[in-house]
């Protein structure tokens, strides 16, 4: 009996270890999709990657709803010209994933060129099999 329990635990742990990288790859793909949607400002893409109850926090302290976030990108009020990410980590717990990354971008907000250098935390949640952004918070890098 003891051997059966140990075997069961080993098989269960192996299954979790195999499925985790598969889900991490799906989260990675969702982040890539998000970055593309941010750069393009495409309304449909932004709607597809975000959840209805999105809370989008900027490094300056401003918090936007999903509607505000999408409208600002679609209208050009907020415009990511190019985005580069690095140092990405992914942590998954059930249907929730936390992604941390460094974001370096060129922006054109209200016609003004700028660069931003941020640490970003993204929270994704699985909805109907797809990972979607539920929350985002950024902080400026300290030099």
What are the pLDDT tens digits along the chain (143 aa)? Answer: 555 555 455 555 545 444 569 999 999 999 999 999 999 999 999 999 999 999 999 999 999 999 999 999 999 999 999 999 999 999 999 999 999 999 999 999 888 899 999 999 999 999 999 999 999 999 999 86
Question: Sheet holding 112-127: strands in order across?
Answer: 63-64, 50-57, 130-140, 112-127, 96-109, 80-93
pLDDT for position 39: 97
pLDDT for position 142: 81
pLDDT for position 1: 59
> What domains, with CATH codes, occur in the chain?
2-140 (3.10.450.50)
pLDDT tens digits along 38-71: 999 999 999 999 999 999 999 999 999 999 999 9
Strands (E), 2-142: 50-57, 63-64, 80-93, 96-109, 112-127, 130-140
* Cα–Cα dist 130/6, whole Å: 34
pLDDT for position 5: 53
Question: What's this model's pTM, rounded to 2 decimal places?
Answer: 0.84
């Amino acid at each position: 009996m003891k051997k059966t329990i140990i075997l069961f635990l080993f098989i269960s742990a192996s299954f979790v270890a195999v499925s985790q990288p598969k889900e991490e790859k799906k989260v990675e793909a969702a982040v890539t999709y998000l970055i593309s949607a941010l750069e393009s400002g495409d309304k449909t893409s932004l709607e597809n990657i975000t959840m209805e109850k999105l809370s989008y926090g900027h490094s300056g302290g401003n918090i936007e709803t999903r509607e505000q976030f999408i409208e600002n990108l679609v209208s050009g009020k907020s415009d990511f010209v190019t985005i580069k990410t690095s140092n990405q980590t992914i942590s998954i717990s059930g249907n929730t994933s936390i992604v941390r990354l460094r974001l370096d971008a060129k922006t054109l907000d209200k016609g003004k060129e700028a660069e931003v250098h941020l640490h970003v935390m993204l929270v994704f949640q699985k909805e109907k099999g797809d990972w979607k952004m539920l929350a985002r918070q950024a902080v400026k890098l300290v030099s």
